[in-house]
Amino acid sequence: MTNHVSSKLLYELSSACSQTECEVCESVECASWETRPSNFMAKNYEILGTCQFDGSENIWDEYHPQQTTIWSNKAPIALKHYPYNRADVLRCAHCQKVYLTYTEFGGYYVDQRIRLVNPDLIVLEE
């Protein structure tokens, strides 16, 4: 069973990370959702848990009170809303930066997406 990660825990984890440059993460500096780079090495990241919860697969509403979009680097990280409610939480084993990742299942494609967690954008809700 995967551990559930709350918004409070995500805030604590992402606030505690190193702000130094990291050669492992340099290709994954994604302030907004992006396709996971082809050179992404999963072995360098620890899976901390998931933001998924019972019923989350039925919630497709996004949260954008400031008129951002899913692609904006200022979009809030609201775990009870799409796509965060489908995301897993990863941490770089070298610098401790925290990332969210999920799989987008489009009509004709599958896209592995990733976003660096900015603690200032997390919507603290429970």
> Amino acid identity, residue 84?
Y
d(CA 35, CA 58): 23
How far, CA to CA in Å, does 51 sit from each of 5, 16, 43, 57, 109?
A: 5, 19, 21, 11, 23
Residue 126's pLDDT is what? 57
Residue 14: predicted pLDDT = 95
Residue 68 to residues 26, 73, 126: CA-CA distances in angstroms? Answer: 25, 9, 22
Tokens 């990742």, residue located: 101
What rounded mean pLDDT belongs to the chain? 91
Residue 2 pLDDT more than 80? Answer: no
pLDDT tens for 28-82 read 879 999 999 988 898 999 999 999 999 988 999 999 999 999 999 999 999 999 9
